[in-house]
Amino acid sequence: MKILIKNGLVVTINKNDEIKKMDILIEDDEIKFLGDNYNGNVDKVIDATNKVILPGLINTHTHLGMSIFRGTSDGLSLMNWLNNKIWPLEDKLTPKDVYYNNLLSCIEMIKTGTTTCCDMYFGVTEGINAIINSKIRCVYTRCLMDNDGLGDEKIKEFLDLYNNYKDKNPLLTFSASVHSMYTCSYEYLKKVKKLADENNLLLNIHCAENIEEINTIKEKYNKTPIQLLDELGYLQSKLLLAHGTYITDEDIKLLKNKNVSIAHNPISNLNLGCGIAPISKFVKNNINVSIGTDGQGSGNNLNLFNHIGYVDLLQKGFNKDAQIIESYDVLKMATINGAKALGLDNLVGSIEVGKKADIIILDMNNIEIFPTNNLIFDIVHNISINNIETTIINGNILMENHKLLLDVNIDDLKENINNILKKIGEI
């Protein structure tokens, strides 16, 4: 299948940072041509005149199975929300429930321009089937912890999942993901590190999210979370740290020049009263920063465009410096930096010949964003769902002209979600 996208303004996010009018030829799953006036034979033409073409956004931290918990965090701190709200509700979910929750989340991402995500949850067999059916690109895992005495069972569940699916779908890769240092024993953290090393997997962990976590790790180990990870050898592996709200200047020295990325979750951190991560310091010290939404329960939604505009605004306000981070830096965090964090930057994150065709098309002519005086600023700060017109993942057109093209009955999906809510009771 050859698809030609013609006459669009392409924001490439490539090494030359090109922003220019170009044609894009997609052949099967790959970008084959990027340039002026392609004249070859094609199967389908998409006219992108007066539209903007971007690499699909990359959400580097979320929990897809939490779609039904939207709006549950209001007025709750992180630990209160987890212990007294979310974990008791999650205990009532079946694997089939997770299927429908995941499918709902995947559709939300497709409709809002996210083409790749990094997910951490449970109910994995049904969960991964929903992701496969949605045709989204995903770094998938089974969240690992041993504070309930079932840590080895969770590792077995993950390894079964990994071995069954690792070579079956080009859109799926995997990470070894521990929930946190406060839900895992020291020996369990070492065990997961060994598992990741033996299988050459990305390590993924919630880290330094709120002050209570910092105090818990300090009391137990007399270290910061980053110092503990260093002792465990995590900083010698490819590592993704979710949140990083309380990372000190001394911690930053440990993270510099390592294969470590920070998945910044600005809205989730604000919602749960966790604070503001020192993202500008990470950038200054060449630590890769990507962006996550977290699950809908704490991050409100999976529309990454709703989240990215907070990144530079929070840093500018907190540091009283309007020049500390620019909009283009943020757009890179949501695209190529995210791909780098997930080990996928050879495949996605920019629009270049030879990369996979993960592309979104934006209509910038809507009245609420007109006129566009600063394109990158408007993309980061003013895009709404009305502007997101087309989503292509791996060469598959999953939404065109705002119409979802997945073979999914939305009414049936909503009915199943409502049945789950009735079963688990008041949230």
CB 324 within 8 A of CB 334: no
Q: What is the pLDDT of residues 163-187, one digit of tens each?
A: 999 999 999 999 999 999 999 999 9
Burial level of 290, CB count in 10 A (0-12/13-18/19+)? buried
Using the 8-state DSSP alphabet, how is residue 68 labeled?
Answer: G
In a 13 Å sphere around the CA of 331, the CA atoms on its Cβ side amount to: 21
55 cis-preceded (ω within 30 degrees of 0): no
Q: How far apart are CA 15 and CA 352, in angstroms?
A: 10
pLDDT for 154 equals 97
pLDDT for 11 equals 98
User: What's the mean pLDDT in 179-198?
Assistant: 98
Domains detected in the chain: 2-55+351-404 (2.30.40.10), 57-341 (3.20.20.140)
- Dihedral sign (CA 73, 77, 78, 81): negative
Instruction: Judge whether residue 212 has pLDDT over 80.
Output: yes
Q: What is the pLDDT of residues 365-424, one digit of tens each?
A: 988 889 999 999 999 999 999 999 999 999 999 999 999 999 999 999 999 999 999 999
Q: What is the pLDDT of residues 379-388, one digit of tens each?
A: 999 999 999 9
User: What's the mean pLDDT in 295-305?
Assistant: 97
Write down the pTM of the prediction: 0.98
What is residue 38's three-state secondary structure?
A: coil
**pLDDT grade for 26, boundaries at 50, 70 and 90:** very high
Residue 196 parent element (H or E): helix 186-199
Query: Whose CA is closest to 138, among 106, 168, 164, 113?
Result: 106
CB 64 within 8 A of CB 121: yes
Q: What is the pLDDT of residues 324-355, one digit of tens each?
A: 999 999 999 999 999 999 999 999 999 999 99
Long-range contacts at 332-336 (CB < 8 A, ≥ 24 apart) = 332/13, 333/264, 333/289, 333/290, 333/291, 333/308, 334/57, 334/58, 334/290, 334/291, 334/304, 334/308, 335/13, 335/54, 335/55, 335/56, 335/57, 335/58, 336/13, 336/55
Q: How far apart are CA 179 and CA 76, in angstroms?
A: 20
pLDDT for 399 equals 98
pLDDT for 318 equals 96
pLDDT for 383 equals 97
Place of tokens 């303004």: 9
Instruction: Judge whether residue 427 has pLDDT over 90.
Output: no
Residues 6+ apart with CB under 8 A from 37: 23
pLDDT for 242 equals 98
Residues 6+ apart with CB under 8 A from 168: none
Q: What is the pLDDT of residues 227-282, one digit of tens each?
A: 999 999 999 999 999 999 999 999 999 999 999 999 999 999 999 999 999 999 99
pLDDT for 29 equals 98
Question: What number of residues does the chain have?
Answer: 427
pLDDT for 368 equals 87
Residue 350 phi/psi, 5-degree rounding, is -150, 165
Instruction: Give the orientation angle of helix 186-199 with respect to helix 225-232, to 10 degrees.
Output: 60
